[in-house]
Amino acid sequence: MRTGVYPGTFDPVTLGHMDIIRRGAKLVDRLVIGVTTNPSKSPMFSVEERMAMVRRETADMGDAVEVVSFDSLLMDFAEREGAAVIVRGLRAVADFEYEYQMAGMNQQLNDKIETVFLMADVSLQPIASRLVKEIALYGGDIRKFVTPAVAKDVGTRVEEIGRKGS
């Protein structure tokens, strides 16, 4: 059984993420979506909330997709999951530069695990979780970028943040 890992913060999970998940799942027998916290980002949702969101959004994909959290080096996580492949999505040249450097570092840590890059669908390339959150916080419509359920989750969180700030 060939296992792949698709790591990310998924804060929140976007249509771009879902595109990469669906396409990445076709490349492996088992795709493990690793939900983590990036110390350089300020999450809107807890790890548990993000995992629940991703599980809900991938429920129709069956047992071939698993959602787990991790708080370690990606290569340690990939090894624990028995992964042969790390799936990464690319949106733009800026993503490539960062991802290229990360893939090189990861290869130095474990050259038995390959990194596979998938280009995001052209219509989804501009979508970034950071921008989705920013648009929502300023009252913009995010329904073009996330599923209806995620839009509702984000809207509810924005209302909670607004109540705390009042």
What is the separation of C-alpha 96 from the centre of its chain, rounded to a whole number of angstroms? 16
* Annotated catalytic residue 91: yes
Amino acid, res. 94: A
- Catalytic residue (choose from 30, 55, 80, 91): 91
* Annotated catalytic residue 17: yes
- Catalytic residue (choose from 50, 88, 129, 133): 129
- Catalytic residue (choose from 2, 41, 112, 130): 41
* Annotated catalytic residue 163: no
- Catalytic residue (choose from 17, 50, 88, 133): 17
Instruction: Give the angle subtended at the CA of 117 by the CAs of 109 and 16, to the nearest 5°.
Output: 125
- List the beta bridge partners of residue 34: 7, 68
Q: Which of 43, 9, 14, 47 lies closest to 128 in space, CA to CA?
A: 14
Is 54 exposed, middle or buried (CB count within 10 Å of its CB: 0-12, 13-18, 19+)?
Answer: buried
Annotated catalytic residues are 17, 41, 91, 129
